[in-house]
Amino acid sequence: MTADPPPFERHHRTAQALVSTFQEALEPQFTAKGVLSREEFTRAMGLMMAHWPSVLPLFASICHSCTAGSSSPSCPSSCGGCHAPGEEPPQVPTDGRRRDFVTRLMVSALRATLPDSMDPITGASFPQVIVPGLQSTLTALFYEKEWEAMNAGAIALFNRLGTDRDAEVWQRLAHEETLAVLADTPFIRVLLRFRQFHQQRQTFMRRMTDRLRDRHFVFAEEHFQVLFDALFGRLRQGLRTELDRARTDIQYGEGTAEALLRIFDQFDKHRLEQSLPVRVLGGRQMPRPMLAQRSMLGATPAAKRR
C-alpha cells in the first residue's frame, strides 16, 4: 500500500495547480486585449514556475509535526525530518546555561568560518572571547517576543538536525535545502537591522565594547568587518542573479533582496573607506593603525582614563 504524501507536498501541488489555472484563464484575455505580448506573458509565467522549487521549503515549514521532529503517521519519513515509529530523534537540551539558540546558531557559523586567533595583547581567543558580548548585543536588536519566536525556530532547527555540534550543523545544512532556508532566517533578520548602516554599526560596536570591557578586549573596526563577513557573507550568494533575488523575496518576503543588497553596498563602501590611508599634519598620508596597535592602545591605563 502506497503511503500518502506528506502534507506540505499536497499543499505544494495544490498551489501549483492554482497558478496553472490562473495562467490558462488569463492567457486568452491577454492575447485578445494586447495588454502583454505572448512572449512577455510566457516569459513571466516561465519565471514564476522556475521559482517553484524554492517555494517548497515554505510549504514544508507548515508541517508542524516535522518541525517538531515527531513521528506522526501524517508526516512520513519522506519529508526528511521525522523518524520511524517508536524512535525518538536526538533532542538538544534547552535548560541550564544553553537557552539562547539563536546566538548558538550564529556562533556555530563563526566557528565554522573563522579559525581561532590569539589576541597579542590580552591573550584572549577570538572569536570565543566576544560570544558573551555578541549574545547581549544581538538580543538588544529585537523585542523580547520577537527574540523568543526566533529562538523557538532555532531550537526546532537543531532538533531537526539532531545535533548542535558546529561542524556537523553546517555539513548537514549544506545538503538540506529546506532546513538551510530556515537556518538563514535569523541571519537575515539580524542583517536587516542594519538598514541604517552607519548609525547601527556604531551602536553595535559601542554595545560590544561595553559588554567586553570586563574582559579587557577592545572590539575594533577590524573585528566588526571580520564578524560581518563571517555571519552574513554567504548570504550574498543568494543575491547574485535576478532569479536568486526573486527566490529570496519568495522565501523571506517581498523587498528582502533589495534591502540586503543596499546593506552589503554600504558595508563595502565603508570597508573601502577604512582601507584608505589617513592624512596627518603636513599633508602626509599614513596607513591606519593595525589591529594589534589599537588593542594595545585600548588596554593601557592612560587610554582607559581618556
Name the band, by pLDDT with cuts 50, 70 and 90, for residue 300: very low
CA dist 288 and 274 (Å) reads: 8
Q: Which amino acid is at 165?
A: R
Select the highest-mean-pLDDT range: 56-60, 156-160, 162-166. 156-160
CA dist 179 and 63 (Å) reads: 13
How confident is the model at residue 150, as a pLDDT? 92
Residue 217 has pLDDT above 70, yes or no: yes
How confident is the model at residue 120, as a pLDDT? 66
Name the band, by pLDDT with cuts 50, 70 and 90, for residue 99: confident
How confident is the model at residue 64, as a pLDDT? 44
Name the band, by pLDDT with cuts 50, 70 and 90, for residue 9: low
The 3-state DSSP class for residue 51 equals coil
Contacts (Cβ under 8 Å, ≥6 apart) of 88: 71
Name the band, by pLDDT with cuts 50, 70 and 90, for residue 102: very high
Residue 255 has pLDDT above 50, yes or no: yes
How confident is the model at residue 88, as a pLDDT? 47
Q: Residue 6: is the preceding peptide bond cis (ω within 30°)?
A: no
Between 288 and 257, the more confident residue is: 257
Torsions phi, psi of 260, nearest 5?
-65, -40
Residue 86 has pLDDT above 60, yes or no: no
Q: For the segment 123-150, what is each residue's pLDDT rounded down to a tens digit?
A: 778 888 899 899 999 999 999 999 999 9
Model's pTM, two decimal places?
0.63
Residue 159 has pLDDT above 80, yes or no: yes
Name the E strands within the chain. 117-118, 125-126, 278-279, 285-286
Identify the residue whose cell numbers are 572569536. Answer: 127
Nearest Cα to Cα of residue 237 among 264, 203, 268: 264
137-146, 175-184, 255-264: lowest mean pLDDT where?
Answer: 175-184
